[in-house]
Amino acid sequence: MIEKKVSQGIISTYFSKLERNLDLDVAIVGGGPSGIVAAYYLAKAGLKVAQFDRKLSPGGGMWGGAMMFNQIVVQKEAIEIVKDFDINFESYDEDLFVMDSVESTSALLYKAVHAGATIFNCYSVEDVVFKDNVVSGVVVNWTPVLREGMHVDPINIMAKCVIDGTGHDSEMCKTVARKNGIRLATDTGDVIGERSLDVVSGENEVVNGTKEIYPGLYVCGMAASAVSGTPRMGPIFGGMLMSGKKVAELIIKKLK
Ligand code: 48F
């Protein structure tokens, strides 16, 4: 019966995909541009990487350009990355380029999965796993379960490194800070304690802030900038792409 075979095809391959990803090199929380770029370069380097996004359609804030004007502006420093993803672009100003946001977002997603990364959509990461005070995995649940407030336990996915790519909310950094009694720059205007999450400074907070911010936890994209208390930025995406590549390079150096 074709009906049964279709269902079997979906269920059996989905669960083997999930099982293959219970033990990762890198778990990426959030499927925005910075996280997707990281997923691509990590997978290309041969690492086992999975990305979790709470939405049905990963891509974060990239689909909508700015104010739903679906154009993306990037700085010239990011153009090499744009070329790696085969995205069409045109010169707009001396140092600025524009691309179509739908083409750009779908190219990032396609290339990341094609390179070997697995993207799990509709997954919310609600916590991290600690082993000997090192971030060693993520705790995931279905987004609809959390939205409905259903009393359903999550599952654990172990990873050698976790990336916080959750955008402005920097959710994993906040979780790690809360569990360790650390205050973030965003909460207090300063950071306390030897084990503080770093304050970011410099001209390009996104790229400068892309780092291992706590043992096992890396931060990229707007999450890196937000942790420092930097105000919300304008819609220029080159920093997100560069941040994603930088975090991948840091992890490749550590794990390879
Ligand atoms: O915000 P987002 O696009 O992250 P980004 O890579 O890029 C920022 C830009 O889009 C833009 C900007 C450009 O100048 O400032 O804002 O830093 O995407 C973050 C993604 O993370 C998902 C969320 O659904 C979104 O797609 N996300 C957030 N928290 C969680 C999560 C969570 N706890 N679990 C799973 N996904």
6 is in an annotated binding site: no
174 lines ligand 1 (CB under 6 A): no
Q: Work out the pLDDT band at 41, boundaries 50, 70, 90.
A: very high
Ligand 1 center from residue 136 Cα (angstroms) = 21
Ligand 1 center from residue 7 Cα (angstroms) = 32
What's residue 208's pLDDT? Answer: 78
Task: Determine phi and psi for 71, rounding to 5 degrees.
Answer: -120, 145
- pLDDT 10s digits, 158-191: 999 999 999 988 999 999 988 988 776 665 444 4
124 lines ligand 1 (CB under 6 A): yes
Q: Which residue has the tokens 């150096």?
A: 253
Ligand 1 center from residue 59 Cα (angstroms) = 8
Ligand 1 center from residue 9 Cα (angstroms) = 31
Q: Per-residue DSSP letters for the chain?
A: -HHHHHHHHHHHHHHHHHHHTSEEEEEEE--SHHHHHHHHHHHHTT--EEEEESSSS--GGGTTTBTTB-EEEEEGGGHHHHHHTT---EEEETTEEEEEHHHHHHHHHHHHHHTT-EEEETEEEEEEEEETTEEEEEEEEEHHHHHHT-----EEEEEEEEEE--GGG-HHHHHHHHHTTPPPHHHHSS--STTPPPPP-SS-HHHHT-EEEETTEEE-HHHHHHHTTPPPPPS--HHHHHHHHHHHHHHHHHH-
What's residue 192's pLDDT? Answer: 34
Per-residue pLDDT for 131 more than 50? yes
Ligand 1 center from residue 115 Cα (angstroms) = 21
27 lines ligand 1 (CB under 6 A): no
Output the residue whose Cα is nearest ligand 1's atom 33.
125
- pLDDT 10s digits, 210-254: 889 999 999 999 898 877 666 565 678 898 999 999 999 999 999
Which atom of ligand 1 is nearest to 36's Cα?
Answer: 6
205 lines ligand 1 (CB under 6 A): no
Q: Cα 61 to chain center, whole Å?
A: 12
240 is in an annotated binding site: no
225 lines ligand 1 (CB under 6 A): no
CATH number of the structural domain spanning residue 247: 3.50.50.60
Domains in the chain, number: 1
What domain range is 64 assigned to? 2-255
Q: Cα 215 to chain center, whole Å?
A: 17
Per-residue pLDDT for 2 more than 70? yes
36 lines ligand 1 (CB under 6 A): no
